[in-house]
Chain A
Amino acid sequence: MNNTSNTPLIHISKKKELPWYASWGIRLVAILAAIVLCAIVTMVLTGDNPGQVFSTMLYGAFGTRRKRWVLAQETSLLLCVSLALTPAFRMRFWNLGGEGQILAGGLACAACMILLGNKIPNAALIAVMTVASIGAGAVWALIPAICKAKWNTNETLFTLMMNYVATQLVAYFSIIWEVPKGAGQIGIINQSTESGWLPQVGPHKYFLNVLIVLILTVVMAVYMKYSKHGYEVLVVGESENTARYVGISVKKVIIRTLLLSGAICGLAGLLLVGGTHHTITTTVAGGRGFTAVMVAWLAKFNPFAMIASSLLLTFFSQGANEISTVFGLNHSFGDILTGIVLFFIIGSEFFIQYKIHFRKKSAVSESGKEA
């Protein structure tokens, strides 16, 4: 018994890779546990019974046709940004600049709508907008990428700072282009002529956005899984030295991947400004650049799993919004619930990757073998 004091009470070791159903099962348990905690928090704050709370949340997300379309729209925009970040994350390049890249794309889009609106044919305008948005987003990601490739500048911090440069640029142009003078905001652009608005396709004005993002999801999944580029990204992410050894130009891969990442964020900016709000404000990205980091990570960078994770987070925020409206609470309630869900899922990864061994009371010699 004396020797046991040298063995730690808890010993943690890595698990072998779990089959997919086991790891998703653990995540599901985590989500359910989070939902229970959310229900308790909501009950304490509103004094309502949990059944009522959930039916309110479900109503908030799926209750009417409009709500369902809003849910689809919000999910697909979040999904779009998550898809954008995926190739960068796969390369272990922490692109936290989604927010800034969306804003850059959106700003370029708004600029085209304001400066060229009603001057050139609508089809040409939309083409110019698309190119400009995608280009602007790509440039915004390119700057940190070049520095990372050349001097190994810390990309997490660099991309983070670029967000605020973009925010201030948008604030600057909001005042330059303000309508009416002194309002400090742009307002709906080309409201009467709808020049530069993405056209309505299919049954609903949001259908086009959803469709584009769904196509993008498939393309991204194929790109990551079956293309040579996708493979190179993976190798660089796993080990830069290995990549160099097999003749992959690491710099080229970093820059190319970030161009792609920024371009898709720029596309999200286009969908937000040209396809949804028809205006630009500093908050148009709405924290999606950050939320998307979590969406992508939750889905383990699998584009199809991201549909589920972005739907989950959007459901929570829409549902919590409904709760706060019904009970007259502040709308930040959704952020609290989202936070709780995230903490649980983040924590659940531990049980997927690691195994816990407790110290055995009798067998002293076994503790060595077990590791």
Chain B
Amino acid sequence: MQLEVPQQSLLLLIILFPLGGAIINGLIGRYMPKGLVTVVGVGTVAVSFALAVASFIELYGLRHEAEQATLTYHFYEWFSLKLPAGDVVPVNVRFMMDSLGGIMTLVVTGVGGLIHLYSVGYMGEDEGYARFMSFLNLFMASMLILVLGSSVPVMFIGWEGVGLCSYLLIGFWYENRDYASAGRKAFVVNRIGDFGVLIGMFILVGVAGSFEFTDINAAAMGGQFRPDFPIWVSGVAPSLATVACVFLFLGCTGKSAQIPLYVWLPDAMAGPTPVSALIHAATMVTAGVYLCCRLSPLFITSDVAMSIIAVTGTLTALLAASIAVVQREMKKILAYSTVSQLGFMFAAVGVGFFAAGFFHVFTHAFFKACLFLGAGSVMHAVHAHGDADIFKLGGLKKDLPITRWTFLASCLAIAGFPLTSGFFSKDEILLGAAAQIYRRDDPLMTSVGWFTLIGLSLAAVMTAFYMFRLYFLTFTGDYRSADQSGDHPYDAHPHESPPSMSIPLIVLGIGALVVGFLGLPHVMPITGMHLPSWWSEWMHASVAGRPVPEELHIVNLASGLAFGAMAIGIGGAWVLYRNKNTDALTETIPARLYQLAFDKWRVDELYAAIIVNPIKKIATVAGRADMTFVDALMTRLPSFNVRESGRILSRMQSGVVQMYAAVMVVGVVAVLAWFWTPHSHIEATFEDTSVELTTPQGIGYEYRWDANSDGEFDTQWDRVPGTTFEYARDDIRGVAVFLSNVQSGVERRVRVTEDWTPLPVESVVPADLRSPHDTGFEVRVDGQDLLFRRPGARTKGEIRLPMGRDGRLGLARVFARPVVEATVEVRNAFGNTRRATKEIALPFSVDAPSHASLMPMTREVVR
């Protein structure tokens, strides 16, 4: 059953509060006292969180009544599109909170609020504090629009909005060119993903006829996305769902930092640590997973797309983990860890366990945010800027107890230590991979399942390993900057952070340990006991998914792998790094491999070589070519023409009189030559059955006519330029067919012989019935009649038109008339003569029974 509560204005207020805070702090923040900025900045988010809780409670209450409950709020109509079928698709600014959205809103406002609080301490001394708070609030508002939007375009506002905020926040300390560059990189790479979302959006609206998520999902479930995509290249046609999902997934790889568009995330560590925590751990990067979950009914219909997602997720998880293992800086490790964990989430989505993937989003928000804030705390403690080299740290558990314990809790969670949140979420994901293997759908799916399971297990090993490497090197052992030797050592006396920073750490740390219990697995491993899973119960309403297996062997496989991975990872790190001061990896791994991994597998360099630099080169060439080649073609070429031809022609202006006179003489001679011989042409006018032949009068001309061109002149030399004649049967030279176009009245004449002669197509066949090879009609004389045929017609046949009758052929009225020839001889005063002849088609029939009419038109249609 579905239940919808319309016009729940709380939804709008949730968004408006941070937005308002952003505007206030942005415009006048620099003139306000710091306390007021804090109140506005943090307060608005706190209010937003409270409103989110209120909405969630309402939603929770509704869930008892109906299976699917949503809160909606229609704000106003933004604009509308008109689809080719004629429907007008409105794009409304409308918000919606359902099960999925509710959780996400709570996470965004809750974790976000904590991070805002943290920023008070972390960024409080910064000169741009108000600006920072403003951007942070703007980010919150955008993220909330993304989460609460009920249609793809509204979500897209938030999607690009968080991209903008990312740009502004990563490059927050803009005086450092590299940081600003990192911000730009984030924006541009994200934009590539946005391209994918745009195209995907169009496919969605084309099929579903609406941008609203509910409508699209309904269409997907109704099978409307099953038909093949109309355009494809190779033999195998992808379905509409596949193409749409692939494009949307491209957007997800951009926003959620998967292969191939993850390269912006590590660079994004240039921003202040709260930014990394909020945007690049807890919220923005999960937007991609959120989108997939939102459209899960659609994604689930395309096996190909799901496989692509699963494989990409797994590969990303492996790639990023391998880089994280060898990094030396805290935030870098955490950044690659984020990418890797996102890979886990997408792998879960790819095997159809959307709710599990989203569960990992949920737990990841807690422990990753806690880790980043903890890193920030460490950096704040030792006055490190930008990032902290763990090999200059160590033994901080003494000075930073709160940070240490919360950091440890989160490390346990991310590694998947039993009963932590990460344990449950990671378990579910591996279970999904295992389920895919055992479901035995088809070879592709099964092999994807194996790949995912093995890959994620390996990644889990590496995850546990590098996280505890980080933990041990930072918090155990000796503080390596204590003696202030070496280059750029950190502060000799690190101190714990202020409460504004510690409280969020504690809250998040507890969360990292505890929230996992919301999503207990359906079947407990080993014992096989059935456990209640609040999470899947809650998510079921708005997120689709493949069935969770209950067979114990599958569950045990997944859990065993997860547990084993964690044990190996933590164990390895314990052995190599606990209370140690050097990096054992440099000794164990071959140097070249180590260097390659350290350099992020040189992917950035690869992109630069394959994509960025070639495009830049083309652009440079284009820039130069435009000014030189294109411009030259359009302007220099014509001006060169004009100038040179002018130069040549101006030689006529020689200034010498004789030259001018000579040209005049040439002209006079030419004119005289025209008059040497006489010129004439014949015109015929018809009156009844006699023809009047005339020719233009010339001075001193004499005329002699041979009206029927039989060789004998009918008149004598005379000054009169005309004569009349009546033609007889013997004078007829041939037949001409007249076509009179009924539409335009234009008349055409075709001389007809014994051979087939084509008729002009335009006169006969209407334009839109003409085919490209249409040769139209052909006509020939047969005795006394005319025969018409159409070579291109399906039915062969000929039409006969007797002489003297009229007919109708397509657009043309057809009549046949006899043709005669007249000759005139002209003589001028110089004694030169010239003859002119003309073929005349008589507009009447010489033989016709009644030849009183000039252009007889019978209405008979010849068949």
Decide if A and B are genuine partners.
no
Q: Which residues of A does B touch, CB under 8 Å? A: none
Interface residues of B (CB under 8 A from A): none
